[in-house]
Amino acid sequence: MFIHGAPGIGKTATVRSVFRELGEYTSKVMPIYVNCWEDSTTYSVMSRIAERLGVRFRRGERLNEIMALTRSRMDEVGGIAVAFDEVDKPCEHYFLYKTLSLGKSSVFLITNKKEFMAYLDPRIRGRLTPETLEFKPYSHEETERILDERRFTAFVPRCWDKDAFELVVEEAFKLKDIRSGLFLLLESGRVAEIVEASRRIEKRYVEKAKKNLAGFNIRGSPDLRDDDKLILELVKENPGITSGKLYELFQQKGGRMAKSSFRRYFKKLIDQKLIRREFTSKGFRGRSSKFFYVGGF
């Protein structure tokens, strides 16, 4: 099944909930969740599936051996249902072919990108022929209802000014992301209580909370690995930074990627239009570039 829709709309939460129920309902199908930011190569994905099935193998074991052990285990399990979350993130998708080749397997592809299937290798796409499920953005009324339910649970009655809550709803609806609305609820409450020592949550406190929204969206995004979040935060804090200086700061802040891997993931963030490249005049080493945080997370 191909599942797509805007970020923060419940795709992952829904699939995880269904998988929990599946695990409780039957032992004949093993539900397996794979985050494709964390496992982005065929080897790491197939290793993850093998581990979830209880297959034991040595570190550095060849992929063919892992596949053979997994097939043997499949005969005992009966079948697997594998959810590939953020399936558009890896550079290659041969793991989909490998998963299907195990037999007795169903796959769920989760992504924000509706056009993902069109760019998939035709040979893999031909093996999938999935049904499609679209998660449509919440309406304004639905957004308000969800946030009002959370407000009722998290706050004492009648502590919110009407225009303050309306601003939270408008911001969440504009961003098409319930998570942003939940953040604004909690952050506005924090500003009122801790910063302003107020028992009421006013519109101006929501305005202050909005200033922290970009940082939350970077740190809280399930779409990004920790290293990617660190890169985005560094670019956001240092507009116009060069790639060389960025890598130095990345290492100083605890980033552990090799320079080649850093360049690859940095390019991916540029391709996703989260970072903007601006070319400068040529120097003795050729044309140089400066980088700026665009947003979107």
For residues 28 and 78, the answer to whether their CB atoms sit within 8 Å is yes
- Indicate the average pLDDT of the chain: 87
pLDDT of the residue at 78:
83
Q: Which of the listed residues 211, 238, 263 is the one where a domain comes to its end?
A: 211
Ranges 56-60, 134-138, 154-158, 280-284: which has the least confidence: 280-284
For tokens 């903007």, what's the residue?
Answer: 276
**pTM for the whole thing?**
0.67
- Residue range 98-110, pLDDT digits in tens: 999 998 899 999 9
Residue 185 lies in a domain: yes
Ranges 21-30, 86-95, 173-182, 276-285: which has the least confidence: 276-285
pLDDT of the residue at 103:
86
Please give the Cα distance from 144 to 154 (Å, whole number): 15
**Radius of gyration for the chain, computed over Cα atoms and rounded to the nearest angstrom:** 23
For residues 143 and 117, the answer to whether their CB atoms sit within 8 Å is no
pLDDT of the residue at 216:
59
Beta bridge partners of residue 287, listed in sequence order: 282
pLDDT of the residue at 214:
64
Do residues 13 and 74 share a domain? Answer: yes
Do residues 102 and 147 share a domain? Answer: no
Of 263, 267, 233, the residue nearest 249 (C-alpha): 233
Q: Which residues contact 140 (CB under 8 A, 6 or more apart)?
A: 169, 173
The answer to whether residue 160 scores a pLDDT higher than 90 is: yes
Query: Could you say which DSSP state residue 250 is in?
Result: H
Q: Which residues contact 49 (CB under 8 A, 6 or more apart)?
A: 32, 34, 70, 80, 82, 99, 102
Taking residues 46-66, report their average pLDDT: 92
Residue 217 lies in a domain: no
Do residues 48 and 127 share a domain? Answer: yes
Percent of the chain with pLDDT over 70: 91
Could you tell me which residue, 272 or 86, shows the higher pLDDT? 86
Task: Give the domain range for residue 82.
Answer: 2-135
pLDDT of the residue at 225:
65
Task: Write out the two tokens for 93.
Answer: 């998708």
Q: Which of the listed residues 135, 166, 200 is the one where a domain comes to its end?
A: 135
Q: Which of the listed residues 73, 104, 135 is the one where a domain comes to its end?
A: 135
The string of DSSP letters for 186-197 reads: HHHHHIIIIIS-
Do residues 154 and 79 share a domain? Answer: no
- Residue range 168-197, pLDDT digits in tens: 999 999 988 888 898 899 999 999 988 888
Could you tell me which residue, 172 or 223, shows the higher pLDDT? 172
Beta strands 132-135 and 30-35 are unpaired
pLDDT of the residue at 2:
96
Residue 216 lies in a domain: no
pLDDT of the residue at 38:
80
The answer to whether residue 140 scores a pLDDT higher than 90 is: yes
The string of DSSP letters for 67-134 reads: HHHHHHHHHHH--EEEEEETTTSSS--HHHHHHHHTSSEEEEEEES-TTHHHHS-HHHHHHH---EEE
Taking residues 7-26, report their average pLDDT: 91
- Residue 219: pLDDT band (50, 70, 90) is very low
pLDDT of the residue at 101:
92
Do residues 166 and 251 share a domain? Answer: no
Do residues 130 and 151 share a domain? Answer: no
pLDDT of the residue at 267:
82
pLDDT of the residue at 286:
55
pLDDT of the residue at 177:
82
- Residue range 230-247, pLDDT digits in tens: 888 898 889 999 988 999
For residues 110 and 3, the answer to whether their CB atoms sit within 8 Å is yes
CATH number, domain of 279, equals 1.10.10.10
Do residues 118 and 144 share a domain? Answer: no
- Residue 92: pLDDT band (50, 70, 90) is confident
